[in-house]
Structure 1
Amino acid sequence: MNLALTTSYALVVTLLIATPGPVVALVINTASAAGSKKALQTAIGANGASLALIAAAAAIISGAAVLQPETLRWISIAGCLYIGWLAISAIREHVTLPSEAQQGRRLQQGGWLKGFLVGISNPKDILFFVALFPQFIQVTESFATSMGLLAAIWVALDLLILGAYIFILGKVLSVRYRRWIALVSAVLLLGIAVAGLVYNLSA
């Protein structure tokens, strides 16, 4: 195993995952509004989506599958609409419902399925993986072993970083700050959805 190449890949992945995006925004929103357990379920769902996208990228790199750009575009549009709906629902809940009602609806926040759907909502991430993995595929001499190792590192770092966000929100910040963070993360999620929708419709 090429240790230097593996370390470089781990550093790149850490920076990519830690950068706020729809999954990070959803996990932060869920941790703030519904607690650590629900946020962890959301993170695991998003992790499952990453594995599905990585598998698709591996199939393309190996020549076993072909991408249809127009299909990706329409799936991306549907994903943006779903993320936008989640964001608007969260914003309305934090703005219009009293604290007691919000507490009563906590269990409806986040969860494995929402995490998976948000994670899979931008299939163009497949293109990102197709571009990323060939740069590090020489970590071992076997294509299958290299892809397995790269995927395992991604999954481990993904859960570790999202888990750090959840821990900080659950153990460090006060409830008052968590409510504001939940609202801000919902607005960020809406912004990501709108930006993605504009990009896909203008493409």
Structure 2
Amino acid sequence: MAMSLLGTYLLAVVLLLITPGPVIALVTHTAVRDGYRRAFITLAGTNLASLVLLAMAVMILAGIVDIHPLSLAGVGFIGALFIGWMGIGMLTHPQPTTATSARQGGFLTGFLTAIANPKDILFFVAFFPQFVPVTRNFAQSITLLTLIWIALDLLILTMWIIAVRRYVSLRYERAIRLATALFMLVVAIYGAVWNGNAIWIAFSEG
């Protein structure tokens, strides 16, 4: 086993997961507004989305699926639009109602937010394959890397949820909602511009 490569993978995953992004913003906002139960349901959705992206990366590596680079940019662009829609929804519904609660948290929303997250898409498709040689066996490497991802993902997001619920008062929910919405809009704009530019270049060269 290549311990140095494994250590690099651990560090990369931890840095990716602790860095603020749409998933952390959604999970922490849900924790403050709706409590532990809904936050952990949302977490389950985000974790499943990560496994789907990971499975896609494995199928690409195994030669089962061949994805055109333009497809990746297209998925990233659509994902940016979805995250932007989430942010706008938070800004246009200042009062937490049943309808907005269902839209801003929950298993499906968590799944869609994570599956559309440009940061996660880039990690699994472009960065994850570099760590497959961690062992000499492809299946063992994928299993090990997947288990590490699941464990760290659940641990770090759980720590975010507990920290927010314990140390952030509900009276700050409006400020957190505003910060979450603005952050999602920034991510959405960046993702739309980046992927839109990639799509434009691909069509121009084609």
TM range (shorter): 0.7 to 0.9
Superposition map of 1:46-65 within 5 A: 46-65=46-65
Identity %: 46
* Cα-Cα RMSD: 2.2
Structure 2 length normalisation: TM-score? 0.85
> Residues of 1 paired with 2:71 and 2:153: CA distance?
27
Query: Structure 1 residues 86, 134: closer, same or farther in 2, change over 3 A?
Result: closer
Question: What do the CA deviations read for 1:142-175 (whole angstroms, capped 9, x no partner)?
Answer: 1111101101111111111111111111112212
**Aligned match for 1:168, one of 159, 163, 169:** 163
Q: Secondary structure at the match of 1:141?
A: coil
Q: Which residue of 1 aligns with 2:24?
A: 24
Cross-structure match for 1:88 = 88
Residue 105 of structure 2 aligns with which residue? 110
Contact 1:30 1:38 in 2 (8 A): yes
Which ranges of structure 1 fall in alignment gaps of 5 or more residues? none
Distance in 1, matches of 2:144 and 2:153, equals 14
Q: What is the CA–CA distance in structure 2 between the aligned matches of 1:105 and 1:35, rounded to whole Å?
A: 17
Contact 2:115/2:121 (<8 A) preserved? no
Cα displacement (A) at 1:178 = 3.6
Q: Which runs of 5+ in 2 are unaligned?
A: 199-206
**Aligned-pair distance for 1:75?**
2.4
One-letter identity of the residue aligned with 1:153: I
Q: Which amino acid aligns with 1:195?
A: Y
Tell me if 1:145 matches 2:140: yes
CA distance in 2, matches of 1:104, 1:70: 38
Partner of 1:5 in structure 2? 5
Per the TM alignment, residue 124 of structure 1 is displaced from its structure 2 partner at its CA by: 7.8
The count of corresponding residues between Structure 1 and Structure 2 is: 197
Equivalent residue in structure 1 for 2:175, among 163, 167, 180: 180
- Distance of 1:198 and 1:165 partners within structure 2: 29
The residue type paired with residue 190 of structure 1 is L
* Residue type at the aligned position of 2:105: G
Tell which deviates more after alignment, 181-190 or 50-59: 181-190
Q: In 2, distance between residues paired with 1:4 and 1:73?
A: 32
Q: Structure 1 length normalisation: TM-score?
A: 0.86
Which whole-Å deviations, capped at 9, do the CAs of 1:34-76 have from their partners, x for residues lacking one? 2222111111111111111111111111222211222222222
Measured in 2, the distance between the counterparts of 1:64 and 1:142 equals: 18
- More moved, 156-165 vs 135-144: 135-144
